[in-house]
Amino acid sequence: MAGIQAGAQAIAGHNSNAPVNYAADRIELQDRANRVVLSGNVDITQAGLRLQAARTQVNYSDAGGLKIQRITATGGVTVTRGNERAAGEVAVYDFNRRVITMAGNVRLNRGSDTLNGGRLVIDLKSGVSSVDGRANGSSSVTGTVSGSGSGRVSGSFSVPQN
């Protein structure tokens, strides 16, 4: 468990005001809706944080300059930073709250430690990450996701050799 906690502390230093870089097979700018849709091998990076998915929708405000409000990713979503990797079916990165919420068969790995559940919430301000068994119990994550059905969290922690 110490390994997972150390990873959460490293995430607490994430600069959510850093530039966001992106690449995808297709990009569609929807000016009237203040959104950009990226599809096909989407790869988004920000200050050492990397999000990969099949499709993302980036919502922004345009008040004197573009400001990202939220990124919603679907389809084989992975979020990595350093040696920590989270995977799930859906992820929402709320830039205003500085929170990433993932849902649907979520798996969090750090080194050889693992956590599995229905939903993962990463608070970038505090560095606290939490996993619960619910597949979709948050208003932050929209869409239909399927969980393992058990409603429980499972995992495996490494024990240091003496």
pTM: 0.79
- The domains found in the chain, sorted by start residue, are 2-148 (2.60.450.10)
- Taking only the tens of pLDDT, the chain with its 162 residues reads 444 444 444 455 678 888 999 999 999 999 999 999 999 999 999 998 999 999 999 999 987 778 899 999 999 999 998 888 999 999 999 999 999 999 999 999 988 888 899 999 988 888 888 888 876 544 444 444 444 456 788 888 778 787
CB 120 within 8 A of CB 130: yes
Q: What is the pLDDT of residue 150?
A: 62
Burial of 13 (0-12, 13-18, 19+ CB in 10 A): exposed
Nearest of 111, 121, 117, 158 to residue 141 by alpha carbon: 121
